[in-house]
Amino acid sequence: MPFLELTLHCSESEQPRYENALDDVGALAVTMLDADAGTRNEDAILEPGVGETPLWASITLSALFAHDADALLLLAALESFDPGLDWGRVSFRNVEDQDWERAWMDQYVPLRFGERTWIVPWNRELPDDAGSDAAVVRLDPGLAFGSGTHPTTALCLRWLDGLADAGLLDGTRVLDFGCGSGILALAALKLGAAHATGIDNDPQALQATADNAERNGVADRLSVHAPDDAPAGTWPIVVANILASALDMLADTIAARVAPGGRLALSGILDGQQAPLLARYGAWFDGLRVEVEGDWVRIDGIRRG
């Protein structure tokens, strides 16, 4: 069935009002994209920081309505709901229906990270050359971030794979701080960790992580929590793939989660943003290293005793 798609551009501050109005007049779905994507890399949103829900400064907002919806009546209803907004910027077009998630998954292929770690979509087979000891995460990311295709996630997956190769994951506990789809927690479990904990401020991310754990047969070894409900204590292995600003703001909290002698990886950092974070985390961690992939950086180190 086709749909009528409404598209408009708005600022971050206006976005909630526009979305409320669209919901009120019966939008079937509302999506947001960075209106300036490709023009300013530093504002890319990967995963929201724990406790915050950032958006882009300039947003393209799209809403789907039933194919037989009357565009003029919709505009009149929107204007009536919130006359203070500029509805003159709206455009309409007819779009054909398709299974968007499946269309995306059809282009998503098995990916290898390090020696053993494989991220494989549900509709694909593991390559024949993967090896009998492959640590396989079958992932259907859905609405949450984290499919392994972005350098920030790739950097963390290779770090976990390296820890496993050194025998540092066997039987240990892992904290995935800002878990998104749960990809890092799942990879750690598949690589030998005994238990993983995921923390995220987004309920959809927590649900996606729990669902992916169930599908991968590790639900009994993974727990998910909102920041306010997270268990106390420390973990031998902690990974935080969020944003540089959140890593800076939450440095005390993140450092306090790493056990003495434990290992930490930080990602979601643009190349050029690492210096202040190295100084910040140097208060607690030794041997801080930087690995760069493209425009992105991972920092890792060992917690002092």
- Evaluate whether 176 touches 188 at the Cβ level (below 8 Å): yes
Closest by alpha carbon to 261, among 232, 283, 285, 233? 285
Evaluated on CA atoms 24, 28, 32, 35, the torsion sign reads negative
Q: Where are the beta strands (DSSP E) in 122-166?
A: 135-139
CA-nearest of 105, 103, 71, 100 to 87 is: 71
The Cα–Cα gap between 170 and 76 comes to: 62
Tokens of 59: 């947003």
The tokens describing 97, both together, are: 């229906």
- List binding-site positions: 153, 178, 200, 241
Query: What's 148's DSSP letter?
Result: S
List the beta bridge partners of residue 121: 139
> DSSP class of residue 215?
H
**8 A C-beta contact, residue 136 and residue 190:** yes
Q: At residue 294, what is the residue type?
A: G
Annotated binding site for S-adenosyl-L-methionine: 153, 178, 200, 241
Report how far residue 189's alpha carbon sits from residue 216's, in angstroms, rounded to the nearest whole number: 10
Cβ 183 vs Cβ 192: under 8 Å:
no
